[in-house]
Structure 1
Amino acid sequence: MGSSNRVVWSDGLFIKPQHFQQQQRYLEQQIHQRSLALCRSLYGFSALALNDEYLGFGRISLVNAAGLFADGTCFDLLRDDVMPQPLEITDASVANQLVYLALPLQSNTQTEICWPEEPAVHSRFQAACTDIRDLHTTQGDTHSVDLARVAPRLMLGNQDFSAYSTLAIGRILEQRANGSLMMDANFIPTLLDIKAAPRLQRFVEEMAGLMRERARNIADRVGAPGHNGVAEVTDFLLLQLMNRSHPRFLHLSRLPQLHPQALYEALLELCAELVTFTDQSRLPPPFVPYHHDLPEVCFSQLMQLLRQALSTVLEPQAMAIGLQERQFGLTVAPLHDSGLIGSAEFILAVKADMPHDDLRSGFVQQCKVASVEKIRDLISLQLPGIPLVVLPVAPRQLPYHAGYVYFQLDDNSQAWQMLENASGFAFHVAGEFPALEMQFWAIRR
């Protein structure tokens, strides 16, 4: 029969210490199993701090550690339990070795308590005589009670852990020639609360700040004067994602306690959504599954992908180019980005108080398109400029405006060569086009 079964309390029972010990094991096991039914990852550190001074002497020591072992044993080394002895590193081949806080597993054959007067035996608990006051009596006195303090030890990853419940606390990068140790600053221990890993806590705050700044930039671009509603659906969807995620991560950064699995799920969801906007495949990459015992790998991948996604500059595919009216039917469109000449298609949208068919046929004949530097030569010599190709419908990248006819500048024509090193486009419109309105767009390929 298992050691965690309940005690049968019967009439006339001669009570011994074993009865109370067995009843305690039963209750602890019941609590532990019910906790596991809720979450399999309810163990790890809620607080952890290494002694940096001891590293210089080639030793690993703790300043503080609190949390829960995987077997359900709670510990708080700074307040109630036994601080483990420093682990002295004498083996030079310790590079990339993990260091663990280890506690002997419960056993039916091993003594759990180490008494002060007995020879040093590494047990689960160390007995400590403590004066306890009677709090249920007005004049309650104090009485010495033996209390069991959790007594873990520090162990290296190359040791035998078969009889221990362990929690990883760090990774040794190297031991220098003078014997001092260098620990991995990016290591993430087994956690019950991310505040025990400052790297994760800082990253949550960083994400909240980056998303706030990104939302402001998109909002400014969408509402900029002269934008004319050209913001693509992508801009609004990304702004919606930032506005939804920023308060969530701000909330997570302010929580007094946050389990790493909950953070992983939030980061995973955000990363998968951002890939839709920042990756050409529009599909999320294979994510490293959540690993509670060694969460460093799965979190490092998400942190790298999110930083990359939130730093990616998303340029609008369609960009409005301002038109400036000059004398004698001349309109110019200054081009501030010469790289658009070879990387974009240029669309001229025209509206006038006349039938669309007449506008389509007449405007092509009466409009001459060239560079700002060449337009006057073409007009005086009556030479053709860049041809206009009538589009049957408005390009999907542009906002729809009723009554407009759309023309594409033919970038395969010989006249297109005149735009090399040009400062912008020029349009000369002859003839009568009542209430003429024009818009000029560049659509990145």
Structure 2
Amino acid sequence: MANKLKVAWFDGLNIGQTHFEQQERFFNRNIDLKTINIYSNLYGIIDLEFSQEMLLQGKIALSKISGIAQDGSIFNAPEQDLLPEPIEINYESLIDSVVVLKIPIGVTDIADLSLRNTFPNSKFICLRNSIALRNYDDSKSNVMDKIEDEYELENLTFTQEKKDLLLASLRLKLGILGNSTPDELELPIAKIKNIDINKKIELESDFIPTCLNISKISTIRSFLEEIIFSINQHKKVLSNVFKGIDQTKNTLDFGTFLSLNLLKKWYLIFSHLSKKDKIHPEFLYEKFLEFQGELAAFSNEESFLD
């Protein structure tokens, strides 16, 4: 059924709620076709912070979280959206369990929200907020005509009128991996390492959440720095070999020459990546594959490429 086409606007159309909802479906369809439908792995966490106080109480709660879900839904709590409710973890059987952020999937024939929040599993939560108008209507005011001083005019500010609006916040939930319903998406964000007798929760520090920016992950950054250091050490060794050849007038085998050039190339590439603020995990993985593929040229072992 063609339910995501644009509205056929015309003069005299009696505009209602349905028209705006349909136009929103059309816009979302356009965005999805240009993003998640043609690019893989375009989802994950952008920013994440757990409440340390709640962990001491045996609960998992977030201080902030932002990102993109698998269906293209965006969230940024608490700056824009509401934070998910904390969940209590008090069973030792949940050790090694993965904590996930659950995002409801919008279904065409089911309402996305209820104005009084009577639907507990709706995609959005309805909330009221005061929004300032962006435009000032000076056509209905003569205040500008009363200002004669140019300096006063340049430094004039107006307090914008505000309107109360009903807004829709994406309904975010916390849970354990595998316990979601078919109408929910899951984004792994943490792993439970230990729960002591006082119910204090310890999270796995080396766990990497499903994310869009891997440059902030300390484990990945340390691994990248180790690779850079190792490449630099091997590069220095081969450079000293070249210096010895220049002094003794001996020849160098072609493989050693290629090895030095390969190390110089990847030292520059990985050094550049280590300084970037944003790195997608798939991009970094592809760079590691490319590096491994070039190293395989100097190995006779077939398992090197497995």
TM-score range, shorter chain: 0.7 to 0.9
In the TM superposition, what is the alpha-carbon distance from 1:166 to its structure 2 partner? 2.0
Higher relative contact order (CA 8 A, sep 6+): 2
CA distance in 1, matches of 2:235, 2:45: 35
Task: Tell me if 1:259 matches 2:258.
Answer: no
In the TM superposition, what is the alpha-carbon distance from 1:74 to its structure 2 partner? 1.1
Pick the structure with greater CA Rg: 1
Contact 2:44 2:67 in 1 (8 A): yes
Residue in structure 2 matched with residue 108 of structure 1 by the alignment: 108
Task: Tell me if 1:128 matches 2:103.
Answer: no
Task: Tell me if 1:195 matches 2:207.
Answer: no
Residue in structure 2 matched with residue 81 of structure 1 by the alignment: 81
CA distance in 2, matches of 1:31, 1:204: 34
Residue in structure 2 matched with residue 440 of structure 1 by the alignment: none
Determine which structure has the larger strand proportion and give its number: 1
Residue in structure 1 matched with residue 48 of structure 2 by the alignment: 48
Contact 2:97 2:191 in 1 (8 A): yes
Contact 2:113 2:119 in 1 (8 A): no
Superposed counterparts of 1:366-381, under 5 Å = none
Residue in structure 2 matched with residue 271 of structure 1 by the alignment: 292
Which residue of the other structure, out of 176, 190, 194, is the alignment partner of 1:170? 190
- Listed as ranges, the gaps of 5+ residues in structure 1 are 287-445
In the TM superposition, what is the alpha-carbon distance from 1:262 to its structure 2 partner? 0.7
- Listed as ranges, the gaps of 5+ residues in structure 2 are 139-157
Matched letter for residue 193 of structure 2 = L
- Determine helix, strand or coil for the equivalent of 2:304: coil
Contact 1:46 1:195 in 2 (8 A): no
- Determine helix, strand or coil for the equivalent of 2:21: helix
CA distance in 2, matches of 1:114, 1:234: 69
Residue in structure 2 matched with residue 343 of structure 1 by the alignment: none
- Determine helix, strand or coil for the equivalent of 1:185: coil
Residue in structure 2 matched with residue 302 of structure 1 by the alignment: none
Superposed counterparts of 1:154-233, under 5 Å = 154-224=174-244, 228-229=249-250, 231-233=252-254
Matched letter for residue 165 of structure 2 = V
Residue in structure 2 matched with residue 141 of structure 1 by the alignment: 161
In the TM superposition, what is the alpha-carbon distance from 1:237 to its structure 2 partner? 1.7
Q: 1:86 to 1:72 in 2, by over 3 A?
A: same
Structure 1 residue ranges (4+ consecutive) displaced by more than 6 angstroms after TM superposition? none
Aligned-residue RMSD, C-alpha: 2.5
In the TM superposition, what is the alpha-carbon distance from 1:32 to its structure 2 partner? 0.9
Q: 1:159 to 1:244 in 2, by over 3 A?
A: same
CA distance in 2, matches of 1:118, 1:66: 23
Which residue of the other structure, out of 226, 237, 241, is the alignment partner of 2:262? 241
Task: Tell me if 1:63 matches 2:83.
Answer: no
In the TM superposition, what is the alpha-carbon distance from 1:130 to its structure 2 partner? 2.4
Sequence identity (%): 25
Determine which structure has the larger helix proportion and give its number: 2
CA distance in 2, matches of 1:240, 1:122: 58
In the TM superposition, what is the alpha-carbon distance from 1:106 to its structure 2 partner? 0.5
Residue in structure 2 matched with residue 14 of structure 1 by the alignment: 14
- Determine helix, strand or coil for the equivalent of 1:9: coil
CA distance in 2, matches of 1:3, 1:58: 46
Residue in structure 1 matched with residue 98 of structure 2 by the alignment: 98
CA distance in 1, matches of 2:198, 2:10: 66
Contact 1:48 1:196 in 2 (8 A): no
- Determine helix, strand or coil for the equivalent of 2:94: coil
Matched letter for residue 35 of structure 2 = S
CA distance in 1, matches of 2:114, 2:303: 57
In the TM superposition, what is the alpha-carbon distance from 1:169 to its structure 2 partner? 0.5
CA deviation digits over 1:294-340, x for unaligned, max 9?
Answer: xxxxxxxxxxxxxxxxxxxxxxxxxxxxxxxxxxxxxxxxxxxxxxx
Q: 1:227 to 1:97 in 2, by over 3 A?
A: farther
Contact 1:218 1:235 in 2 (8 A): yes
In the TM superposition, what is the alpha-carbon distance from 1:93 to its structure 2 partner? 1.6
CA distance in 2, matches of 1:75, 1:222: 55
In the TM superposition, what is the alpha-carbon distance from 1:119 to its structure 2 partner? 4.7
CA distance in 2, matches of 1:18, 1:201: 49
